[in-house]
Structure 1
Amino acid sequence: MHRPRLTLVLLGLLTAACAEVIHKRHAPLSVEQIEHRLQECPVVQALNEEKIHGAPQSASLTSKLFTVLFPSSSPAINALLATAYISGPPNFLLALCPPNIDPSSLSVMVAFAVGGLLGDTLFHLLPEIFLGEDEPDKVRFVMLEPNRNLLLGVAILVGIVTFTAMDKILRIATGGGGHTHDHSSQEHSNGAATTTATSPKSQEKELRKRKASPKSKVDTPSTTSSQNQSVKLAGLLNLIADFTHNITDGLALSSSFYASPALGATTTMAVFFHEIPHEVGDFALLIQSGFSKRKAMGAQFITAIGAFLGTFIGIFVQEFGGRSGASDDAQATVGIWGTSLQWGDMLLPFTAGTFLYVGTVAVIPELLETGSNKSEEIKKTLQQFGAMFVGAAIMLAISWS
Structure 2
Amino acid sequence: MAPRMFSRRTGLAIAAGCFLFSALAAANVRPGDMSVSQIEEQLQNCPLVESLNQHKQSTAPETASLTSQIFAVLFPGSPAVNALLATLYISGPPNFLLALCPPNIDPSSLSVMVAFAVGGLLGDTLFHLLPEIFLGEDSPDHVSFVMVEPNKNLLLGLGIMVGFFTFVAMDKTLRIATGGEGGHDHSHGHSHTEVSTASTSGAETGKAGDLKQRKSNTKSSDSVSTPENEEKEINPSVKLGGYLNLIADFTHNITDGLALSSSFYASPTLGATTTVAVFFHEIPHEVGDFALLIQSGFSKRKAMGAQFVTAIGAFLGTCIGIAVQEFGGNGTVLEDAPASGIWGTSLTWGDMLLPFTAGTFLYVGTVAVIPELLETGKDKGAEVRKTITQFLAIALGAGIMLAISWH
In the superposition, the TM-score normalised over structure 1's length comes to: 0.89
Match of 2:352 among 336, 343, 346: 346
How do 1:63-102 and structure 2 match up within 5 A?
63-72=68-77, 74-102=78-106
Aligned to 2:142: 138
2:57 maps to what in 1? 52
Work out whether residues 22 and 34 of structure 1, in 8 Å CA contact, stay in contact via their aligned partners in 2: no
Instruction: List runs of 5+ in structure 2 lacking aligned partners.
Output: 214-230
Residues 12 and 83 (structure 1 numbering): CA distance in 2 closer, same or farther, change over 3 Å?
A: same
Contact 2:265 2:330 in 1 (8 A): no
Distance 1:22 1:111 in 2: 54
SS in 2 for 1:71: coil
SS at match of 2:368: coil
1:275 maps to 2:277: no
Relative distance call for 1:22 and 1:243 in structure 2 (3 A) is farther
Distance, in Å, in 1 between the alignment partners of 2:287 and 2:24 is 55
- Residue 105 (str. 1) matches residue 109 (str. 2): yes
The equivalent of 2:216 in structure 1 is none
Structure 2 equivalent of residue 289 of structure 1: 296
Paired-residue identity, %: 69
Q: In the TM superposition, what is the alpha-carbon distance from 1:179 to its structure 2 partner?
A: 1.3
- My pick for the range that moved more, 81-90 or 1-10, is 1-10
Match of 1:247 in 2: 254
Q: Residue type matched to 1:159 in 2?
A: G
Check whether the contact 1:188–1:289 (CA below 8 A) recurs between aligned residues. no
Deviation at 1:29, TM superposition (A): 1.7
TM-score, normalization: structure 2? Answer: 0.88
Q: Offset of 1:225 from its aligned partner?
A: 7.3
Note the alpha carbon deviations across 1:333-352, whole angstroms, 9 max, x for none.
Answer: 42111111111100000000
Deviation at 1:253, TM superposition (A): 0.2
Alignment of 1:2-401 (within 5 A): 3-5=3-5, 8=8, 10-22=12-24, 24=27, 25-26=29-30, 28-72=33-77, 74-176=78-180, 177-186=182-191, 196=196, 217=207, 228-327=235-334, 329-401=335-407
Secondary structure (helix, strand or coil) at the match of 1:98 reads coil
Deviations along 1:173-223, whole A, 9 cap, x unmatched? 01112111232332699xxxxx5299xxxx9xx69x98xxx868469x9xx
Query: Take 2:290 and 2:326, find their aligned partners in 1: how far apart are those partners?
Result: 35
Q: CA deviation at 1:332?
A: 1.4
Q: How many residues align?
A: 382
CA distance in 2 between partners of 1:197 and 1:264 (Å): 42
Residue identity matched to 2:349 = W
The one-letter amino acid paired with 1:113 is A
Partner amino acid, structure 2, of 1:186:
S
Is the 1:22–1:38 contact (alpha carbons within 8 Å) kept by the matching residues of 2? no
> For residue 398 of structure 1, what is the amino acid of its counterpart?
I
Alpha-carbon contact 1:110-1:274 (below 8 Å) kept: yes
In structure 2, give the amino acid aligned to 1:368.
L
Unpaired runs of 5+ residues, structure 1, are: 190-194
CA drift of 1:145 comes to: 1.7
Paired residues of 1:21 and 1:38 also in contact (CA < 8 A): no
User: Is this contact kept in 2: 1:187–1:231, CA < 8 A?
Assistant: no
Task: Output the CA distance in 1 between the equivalents of 2:405 and 2:232.
Answer: 53
Q: Which residue identity does 2:381 align to in structure 1?
A: S
